[in-house]
């Protein structure tokens, strides 16, 4: 356990950031799962920009790697374009 006041504050800040990051990462994963489950092309095309935006925000905040974000966006775009 930390003894300095600044170290205790850092622990509190890190916990708050971790919970914030976990929430956004989990909600993005859920959105990706929902997009992959869609069978209607029109609704999937409408929902795709929202999911891509969420992925971009995760990459910008270094919650996920930039290459992982690019791979996810590419695969999701391919998936939506294959729908009929």
| 50-70 confidence digits (pLDDT tens) | 999 999 999 999 999 999 999
HSE (side-chain half, CA atoms, 13 Å) at 9: 3
Identify whether 62 is part of a domain: yes
DSSP state of 14: H
Identify whether 18 is part of a domain: no
Domain ranges, residue 48? 41-84
Domain count, the chain: 1
Q: Is the pLDDT of residue 79 over 90?
A: yes
Residues sharing a CB contact under 8 Å with residue 38, sequence separation 6 or more, in sequence order: 44, 47, 83
| Confidence bin at 2 (pLDDT 50/70/90) | confident
- pLDDT tens-digit series, residues 25-47: 999 999 999 999 999 999 999 99
Identify whether 76 is part of a domain: yes
């Amino acid at each position: 356990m930390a003894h300095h006041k600044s170290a205790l504050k850092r622990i509190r800040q890190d916990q708050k950031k971790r919970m914030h990051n976990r929430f956004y990462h989990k909600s993005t994963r859920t959105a990706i799962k929902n997009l992959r489950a869609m069978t209607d092309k029109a609704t999937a095309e409408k929902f795709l920009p929202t999911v891509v935006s969420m992925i971009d925000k995760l990459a910008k905040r270094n919650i996920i790697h930039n290459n992982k974000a690019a791979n996810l966006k590419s695969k999701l775009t391919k998936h939506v374009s294959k729908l009929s």
